[in-house]
Structure 1
Amino acid sequence: MKKFFKVLLWIVIMLAAIILIGAFFLPSKIEVKVTKEMKADQKAIFYYVNNLKVNGEWSPWEGVSEIKYGEIAEGQGATMTWKDEMGGSGKQLISESKPYSLIKTELDFGEQGTAKADFFFDEIKDGTKVTWSFESDAPYPMGRWFGLFFIKPMIKESYVKGLNNLDSITALVPKTPMVTIEQVESTPLLGIKMKSTTEDISSNMAMIFTKLAAYIGNNHIVPVGPPVSIWHSWSQEESEMEVGFPISQENSGNDEIKTRNTYEGKIATLMHKGSYEKTPQSWGILMQAIQKMELEQNGAPYEVYLTSPDIEPDTSKWKTKLCVPVK
């Protein structure tokens, strides 16, 4: 019997030695990196990762419940918390978001530790290459053994599943303009405010731009950006708008031409491509997206005309940036 316990003791000592000594040679961090080439473009894929409220549509994690979102749910500063069926909980923070190339997140699992998970988006010939990485400390000694043989394979399997889900969902997204959230600064706008019937908007705007161009030329003013129209009100019968050019500093103007400071803050924006007559369809997409993201309009919508019809006669190449102040 003593011999048995002596052998058992030696086995325990040998196992302990293997665990303690072997752990010195194991990685001190758990690192996972999974890459997948997807069919969709960068903007579509970026949106599904950058907006925490739509993460659940492709997330590989099952059994997650009681999800709560912070005041910011998209982009840098966005947060969410959750609980799972096993009684665990966690928090995710988007610490950095660079459209449409990089998203960095920080994960906090409470007593189970913290981790970093990042996404990299690279444009390729037929779509987008997405890389999803994970990094966390592996405490000595058991954390290193457990991390290498259990946690790392489990995370890798989940990442592969998640990227496959993301690929399947974004492949179904139609090739429509993508709505993004941006932060804009205020700038002086030299413009004219007017009312117009729907059928006369184009001719009236052309007349106003002619007046502004003459005033700018006569007063040696250099615009600092493309022309803008701010839509104060709109209806099928009559609309009220303000058309102007951003300038570097305020100008006294005249009885008709005034200077005002533009909106500063967060906007939801969409790039319309094509003739001006087709902007209502793009405006509909933008307003639906704002509603879906549960954002609140915070000012008058406006358009930025990035293509001059005088330089580019092909209307299919015209680009108009549609913007809505939000909060």
Structure 2
Amino acid sequence: MTEPQIQTRAAQPYLGVTATVTMTTFHLVADRIGEIVGLLLGRGQEIAGAPFLRYHVIDMEAELVVEAGVPVAEPQPGEGEIKPGELPAGRYVTLIHHGHVDGLIETITGLFAWAETQGLTWDMTTSERGEHWGCRMESYLTNPQVEPDMNNWDTELAYRLAD
């Protein structure tokens, strides 16, 4: 695990698809990234960053509200279930995970432990439905068409802090 960093980020427009899923149906949202990329490329638009999954609500025992998204340089109109959105500006804790996505849980656990030692507070509230995040995301920095071996992938975690 690399050392976590605190970054101040500007707001970032994107196009995304949101779905309520479980851990066993997670692919139903994650697999939509290619569709969003295809829509943008079909419009002649450039992608302005790594595709991501944004976690709006997390209840690992029940349901998660997750959004698959692709950053764009300028706000774009949606189409069908693909909607425009904006990642909020603010301070984020970021960390690069190198390796298979199955190892993310260990990296996330380490990130949470580090943040606790730093006295940091997440942009997150809890309810009976789970954790509600202002912005918690995983950006997929490795193009699977270039590097198909998931053990060589880089995934950036970015969790917004409460300010």
TM range (shorter): 0.7 to 0.9
1: CA distance, partners of 2:101 / 2:78? 28
Asked whether the 8 Å contact 2:14–2:70 carries over to 1, the reply is yes
TM-score, structure 2 as length reference: 0.86
1:225 corresponds to 2:49: yes
Correspondence for 1:248: 73
1: CA distance, partners of 2:67 / 2:90? 19
Find the partner of 1:276 among 101, 111, 128: 101
1:212 corresponds to 2:36: yes
Does the residue aligned with 1:200 lie in a helix, a strand or coil?
coil
1: CA distance, partners of 2:37 / 2:5? 31
Does the residue aligned with 2:79 lie in a helix, a strand or coil?
coil
Does the residue aligned with 1:278 lie in a helix, a strand or coil?
helix
Correspondence for 1:311: 146
1: CA distance, partners of 2:90 / 2:67? 19
Percent identity between the two aligned chains: 23
Give a deviation string over 1:12-57, Cα, whole Å, max 9, x none. xxxxxxxxxxxxxxxxxxxxxxxxxxxxxxxxxxxxxxxxxxxxxx
Amino acid across the alignment from 1:215: L
Q: Name the Cα RMSD after superposition.
A: 1.5
Amino acid across the alignment from 2:103: K
Higher relative contact order (CA 8 A, sep 6+): 2
2: CA distance, partners of 1:182 / 1:251? 26
Which consecutive residues of structure 2, in runs of 5 or more, have no partner in the other structure?
124-133
**Deviation >3 Å, runs of 4+:** none
Which consecutive residues of structure 1, in runs of 5 or more, have no partner in the other structure?
1-175
Per-residue deviation, 1:312: 0.4
Normalized per residue, the structure richer in helix is 1
Does the residue aligned with 1:259 lie in a helix, a strand or coil?
strand
Amino acid across the alignment from 2:64: S
TM-score, structure 1 as length reference: 0.44
Per-residue deviation, 1:313: 1.6
Amino acid across the alignment from 2:146: I
State the aligned residue count.
Answer: 151
Per-residue deviation, 1:211: 1.8
Normalized per residue, the structure richer in strand is 2
1: CA distance, partners of 2:140 / 2:19? 18
Does the residue aligned with 2:34 lie in a helix, a strand or coil?
helix
Amino acid across the alignment from 2:72: I
